Amino acid sequence: MKSFDVPIIYRSPLISAIKKKRKEQDKMKKDFTPTLLDFGPLQIYLARHFGFCYGVENAIEIAFRTVEENSGKRIFLLSEMIHNPQVNADLQAHGIQFLQDTNGKQIIPFEEITSNDIVLIPAFGTTLEIEDKLKRIGIQTEKYNTTCPFVEKVWNRSEAIAQKNYTIIIHGKPMHEETRATFSHTSSTAPSVIVKDMTEAIELSKYISGDKPAENFYTEFKGQYSADFDVITDLQRIGVVNQTTMLASDTQAIADFLKGVITKTFQPHQVEERFADTKDTLCYATHDNQTAVTGLLKIEADFAIVVGGYNSSNTSHLVELCEEKLPTYFINSAEKILSDKEILHHNFHTKEEVLTVNYLPAKEPLRILITSGASCPDALVEGVINQLAGFFTATISTEQLTAQFQ
């Protein structure tokens, strides 16, 4: 796989050595057991896969190269490049200005943009409407489009099944940038509807089976269906795609459930023509990181730490997986570990930070599980490791551990 020129400040000597070693030992990526960092009284288990994915590294490389090659030009980002506060702050420090916030609210009016400016499209992609608006201004977006290839794969697969007259069901968060972009692309070629979870999928299924009055659909799914959507005819042939950062297992469960409803509602022999196979749209990085957490959770540990941006969808799903098994602290940097007594962490359910006291159990060895989201620099994870190790009389340093993996 291609390697990218990502700023050194995002790299970690320790984690780079670990990832390189694990890759050499497991070229086919079949071993999802975690990596043990044994500090003696503290044992840290790192997930097999975590951190920057292909799409994120590609976006970061393009963004910093654009700054380097266009001195003196105004450079804008449609919204956050990725959902990581440190990376976005670095981009702003290099002079890049954001046009919108993550919800699509305008910060700088498009009317202030000229054809001499540069506008970067973030890794999530953007809507066809915004692309057209930029083109009318005279902005050439192709060179500065950092849309993740795996997001584009979803769009291409959706277009392919749309040509066969399937309606597109998108599993995603309606207000997420990627889902808004995917909905824009799919609804330009086919009837489309967004479901955010299995609960909504179950309610949607009642319109397929006819168990709910058709007219109720337009109220229940307001803002989540395409123009001129006909609930009577448009749910007879469907295919399920996803926001790439959702839980892959949830998307598959929704697809399997809706396929079962189609089978019950219509003749079994019609299933193949009424339900499109879209398994190939699941993002490899999302799948690997989530599977790695499953492997990580097989270790008996005292608690887990997940590092990443608080508005990162893929990171919040890793937290969700960990929370099912043990106490989990969602932090965006080592600075949130205030001391060996206090940790300030994010509750993604309530969207607020919580202070927990006496989070470190008084025992040795203490076992902690650590992973991070696809938009989290490895340097932040090493910072968390060093912060935790500093609370103990470690029998080995991170430098010595790095040497062991080289």
Q: Which residues are catalytic?
A: 178
Q: What is the per-residue burial (b if ≥16 Cβ within 10 Å, else e) of 155-181? A: bebbeebbeeebbbbbbbbbebbbbbb
Rounded distance, CA 86 to CA 99, Å?
18
Q: Is the dihedral of CA 241, 55, 379, 393 positive or negative?
A: positive
Q: Are 106 and 76 in contact (CB under 8 A)?
A: no
Sign of the CA dihedral running 253, 259, 265, 267: negative
